[in-house]
Structure 1
């Protein structure tokens, strides 16, 4: 079997690097670069690609604290340094498991039991790899964060529902926009290059990438369920709402959408999903019983309750998280907007009875109760897009998108409305690179860039963009405002004066 090959690099101390996956290994040890340890890293990278190494406790602590709570970190630490760092980072949500690698197992076990996230104390590297591998098979199913938007009709005193419900609506519209935006070879090549850079030296995933060159749309569910870069990066992008990665993956998201629609379940389904959640995450849902949630990723479930419960592990073992079981009722006769299907026959693991729900599926939170085994049961029902109070706004915005040809300008304007100005500018400029010099869309695109620049306070750039727009309009004699013909654009001062008045009129 192909393995990962770790380059002979120095100790990583840069806190700005970012993995494209959810899971990372943090290794803190004064002797991290010894030969035996490096061989272990090679093996581990075939399981969890991103390994970050430290010899200094403070640098390691700072890196962990700055990592997003949506990331999931596995910490390998020596006994002495573990005693120093664990009191400061053990409670952090992003830290999910800890392994103490040491020379004296008995003495380190004396203090390790105080920290519930410590999975084992080991003295042998092969045992360390085996333990991480075994634990990760479960962790990758129950520890991945859920990206959820809540639509609520009530909220705490003095607070507004606008921001909360706005995220709910725009997440739905964004998915619709990406599904209708045609992909290009430029986008696919950029995605492949990003993956090749991410997995440099990891021959397991590089081989998967080479195999992926023969991809066909009818195999998308096979690729999505396979333990490879495709699933890991796409899931991470969905759960962290990395919009640019979703943009690059959009043709594959569309292929999954088509497959779910094609194999849509014909009968009522009760599906289950296990999850480990923080107290805050669970409380957020408990405060919104009777409301609606949308899940911003593909929602993987099983139609076998026992299978889902098994993944929650030994219920007698104390953990820092809450054990949760989602119980979902889905009736295809009542729901026709978001597809769901049993994908077992098309999966890399055909023996797993997996029911997959489309991105943006909306559920009503019916009830949340804890059973005798101290597992929280969250009962939900799959809903249509028009079963909540925002249906008119949602339908109106969707209709606006459907009434026009979807291009990068459409995506940019949507991101602009979402307040993501940097991304809006990015896609406007991307479209600018693709359009021919005589394209009639150029004038409007320059206007958009001018307005965007003025909103970010870059007034000089705004003037330049508006000048480009006016030049094209004059050249093509498409100017609708007769005042433009009377204005002399001979000096920068006159041009600025005109552009500010032009911006005012546009508003």
Structure 2
């Protein structure tokens, strides 16, 4: 499809040739495992699930759930993070943090506990950022400088929310996963073939209004304590066709967060629930892609932080296929993308990577298009690729 650098990667094979390999091997077996009565049965007991790439832990011995100030603070935080866990006991908080596997954790901690707890948990890979919330800011500011994950010492919930919003946006940006697989299409990894076939099945399925209703009901359950997000869910049900699918995807709300997390961890149940939306975004990109001049190559950029081990894997398999497993947001502005990569420089064990991607629009493959005219954030010079874009 194009060239993707940190190191020059040559144009990829077309998506069609990958799917052909899948179908020649074990189509029926894989299809039955993706679309089975058990997979499509959503009658399991009601259960709240993690629907974002992150959770917030709040540790403070003075937490009182009946206190008006606490309720106000919780409501402000929940506009950013849906899954919030409160603790008055440090051991309970640390134990909970240690159990987090698939998400990043953000910690809001009182001054009373910060100097005893932070040294114990600071290097946990799943812990992204720490915010000290106290009345005496000067007491902890100098000490906090020794810990890179501490984003500041705060006395007001509003300033915490400002910092938290920026950090969770960066977390979402960095959470886009990358698969590296063999350059030989006869030796593709099963998980790689699985996701390609799942994509093709969902894009070919027909959906009616029931699909949207079921998704809305599911989302209301997951965001039942989040009035801000519930309002957006109501708008989504009522006015879905007022906006474009890409507008809904770029809107900073449940649509983007739920879909990208599901694609990242391959949560097949949620991917299927969002199948109609995934298909609509893909088709909208195809329409916009048809308007691009096929004779002009396009160069875009993507800045990202990643674990050093993951970057080493890409370098060691530089002749293989490189797949971004979700919808891929890129920019025509190299400097903007570089700033995203630079934000990782203070994170231990990670490296900032700037991907330079040169694309030939005439190659029939995964659609991409500039989306400024249809985006919920039109100020960004964004080029959006459909899910599971593959490069060499």
Q: Same fold (TM over 0.5)?
A: yes
CA contact (8 A) 1:32 1:38 kept: no
Deviation at 1:90, TM superposition (A): 1.9
Cα distance change of structure 1 residues 31 and 313 upon mapping to structure 2, 3 Å threshold? farther
Instruction: Tell me how far 1:249 sits from its aligned partner.
Output: 0.7
**Aligned mate of 1:345, from 370, 373, 378:** 373
Residue 38 (structure 1) aligns with: 71
Match among 207, 211, 217 for residue 231 of structure 2: 207
Task: Output one character per residue of 1:396-423: Cα deviation in whole Å (capped at 9) or x when no partner.
Answer: xxxxxxxxxxxxxxxxxxxxxxxxxxxx
Which of 174, 177, 199 is 1:147 aligned to? 177
Counterpart residue number, 1:180: 204
Structure 1 residue ranges without an equivalent (≥5): 1-15, 155-160, 365-507
Mapped pair 1:250 → 2:275: yes
Q: Which has the larger radius of gyration?
A: 1
Quote the offset at 1:38 in angstroms: 2.6
C-alpha distance in structure 2 between counterparts of 1:272 and 1:244, whole Å? 32
Structure 2 unmatched ranges of 5 or more: 1-46
**Aligned ranges for residues 49-128 of structure 1 at < 5 Å?**
49-68=82-101, 70-128=102-160
In structure 2, distance between residues paired with 1:357 and 1:134:
23
1:134 deviates by 4.3
Residue 24 of structure 1 and its aligned partner are, at CA, apart by: 2.0
For the 8 Å contact 1:299–1:358, the answer to whether it is kept is: yes
**Could you say which residue in structure 2 is the equivalent of 1:326?**
355
Note if 1:360 corresponds to 2:388: yes
Q: Can you list the C-alpha shifts for 1:362-415, whole angstroms capped at 9, x where unaligned? A: 111xxxxxxxxxxxxxxxxxxxxxxxxxxxxxxxxxxxxxxxxxxxxxxxxxxx
TM-score by length of 2: 0.79
1:283-335 superposed Cα distances (whole Å, 9 cap, x missing partner)? 222221121122211000001111212334568x63323112111111112x2
CA distance in 2, matches of 1:93, 1:271: 30
Q: Give how far 1:123 is off.
A: 2.6
Task: Find the residue that maps to 1:215 and give its secondary structure.
Answer: helix
Cα pair 1:102 1:123 within 8 Å, conserved: yes
Corresponding residue for 1:28? 59
Deviations 1:213-233 (A, max 9, x none): 221297101111111111111
CA separation of 1:246 and 1:217: change in aligned 2, threshold 3 A: farther
SS of structure 1 residue aligned to 2:373: helix
The question of whether the paired residues in 1 share the 8 Å contact of 2:57 and 2:107 is answered with: yes
1-structure distance, mates of 2:205, 2:124: 39
Relative contact order higher in (CA < 8 Å, ≥ 6 apart): 2
Q: How many angstroms apart in 2 are the aligned matches of 1:201 and 1:108?
A: 33
**Secondary structure of the corresponding residue to residue 345 of structure 1:** coil
**CA shift at 1:153, angstroms?**
5.7
Partner of 1:220: 245
**1:292-303 superposed matches below 5 A:** 292-303=321-332
- Distance in 2 separating the partners of 1:197 and 1:73: 22
Residue range with higher mean Cα deviation, 132-141 or 117-126 = 132-141
Give distance in 1, aligned partners of 2:49 and 2:145: 32
**Cα separation, partners in 2 of 1:208 and 1:314, compared to 1, 3 Å:** closer
- Contact 1:149 / 1:167 at 8 angstroms: preserved in 2? no
Question: Could you tell me how far 1:339 is from its partner in structure 2?
Answer: 0.8
Contact 2:343 2:352 in 1 (8 A): no
Counterpart CA distance in 1 for 2:145 and 2:166 is: 20
Secondary structure, counterpart of 2:330 in structure 1: strand
CA RMSD of aligned residues (A): 2.4
**Structure 1 pair 18/55, CA: closer, same or farther in 2 (3 Å)?**
farther
The residue matched to 1:346 in structure 2 has which SS? coil
Measured in 1, the distance between the counterparts of 2:110 and 2:193 equals 47
Contact kept? 2:224, 2:230, Cα under 8 Å? yes
